[in-house]
Amino acid sequence: MEDCIFCKIIAGEMESEILYEDEEVIAFKDIEPQAPIHFLIVPKKHIPTLLDIEEGDNELIGHIHQVANQLARQEGIAEDGFRIVSNCNEAGGQIVDHIHYHLLGGRNLQWPPG
């Protein structure tokens, strides 16, 4: 976990444009945005993949979604719509081995995503 980029952001060892932070999660702008509004919501607890979520994490995962709703409203995209994406493992597009949720909006998003 010492080489996890998200753990370094959480610990304040790396700079990031933080939009939200509480005792359980942090949200910051994506460094390679794929939409006009694109940020990541990351639990402070290091959980490598979606497959590693345990029953005791259910409240944390629900909290992440509540934070997503709050930030979508704050960013002015709640009414028009937005997308939340979480990738799992290499073939699923996961690059950082720490679960995170992309929140994208500010334009019409296409389906399938690619």
User: 21 in a domain, yes or no?
Assistant: yes
pLDDT at 112: 86
CB-CB neighbours of 71 under 10 Å: 20
Average pLDDT of the chain to the nearest whole number: 96
**Catalytic, out of 38, 65, 98, 100:** 100
Q: How far apart are CA 96 and CA 5, in angstroms?
A: 7
Range of the structural domain that residue 33 is part of:
5-105
Separation of alpha carbons 78 and 51, rounded Å: 28
Query: In this structure, is residue 113 part of a structural domain?
Result: no
CB neighbours of 102 closer than 8 A, spacing ≥ 6? 30, 34, 38, 39, 40, 83, 84, 85, 86
Number of domains in the chain: 1
- On whether residue 20 sits in a domain, the answer given is yes
Indicate the pTM of the whole model: 0.94
Q: Is residue 114 part of a domain?
A: no
CATH of the domain at 62: 3.30.428.10
Q: Does residue 111 belong to any structural domain of this protein?
A: no
- The reply to whether 65 belongs to the active site is no
